Each structure stands twice: as structure tokens, then as C-alpha cells.
Amino acid sequence: MPGTQATKACCQRTITRMMQVIRESYVSFPVIKDVPCEECKEILAIRVYTKPE
């Protein structure tokens, strides 16, 4: 996920998990989700415009 700030390790794990869910479950794109980090509860913006491979 591109951004200007470095992503914390806990947030990166949440992003990785969400990308796996999107890759396996979603067939319609774009997918735009705001999800809380599982550890620090920071809101993460997940934006996927095409199906990841």
C-alpha cells in the first residue's frame, strides 16, 4: 500500500491479512475498506482497484 509514512509491523500484518481475504473472496472491484489494525486500532485505508494476483 503506497504512502508517505512507514507502516508499523502490526498494521502491515493486518494489511497482509486483508489483502489475502480480498484476493480469495472478492470478485467485484474496486474494493474500498477502512479497517482497524488488530493491535493498535489505527484505521487503515485499504484500496484495491484491480484483482491482485
Amino acid at 50: T
Is residue 3 one of the residues assigned to a domain?
no
Q: Where are the beta strands (DSSP E) in the chain?
A: 31-36, 43-48
Is residue 29 one of the residues assigned to a domain?
yes
Per-residue pLDDT of the chain (53 residues; tens, 9 = 90+): 455 456 899 999 999 999 999 999 999 999 999 999 999 999 999 999 998 87
Is residue 43 one of the residues assigned to a domain?
yes
First to last CA, the chain: 15
Domain count, the chain: 1
Grid cell of 30 as nine digits: 474496486
| Domain hosting residue 17, numbered range | 9-48
Kindly state the greatest CA–CA separation across the chain.
30
Is residue 4 one of the residues assigned to a domain?
no
pLDDT digits 0-9 by tens, 21-34? 999 999 999 999 99
Cβ within 8 Å of residue 17, ≥6 positions away? 38
Is residue 34 one of the residues assigned to a domain?
yes
Is residue 53 one of the residues assigned to a domain?
no
pTM: 0.78
Is residue 26 one of the residues assigned to a domain?
yes
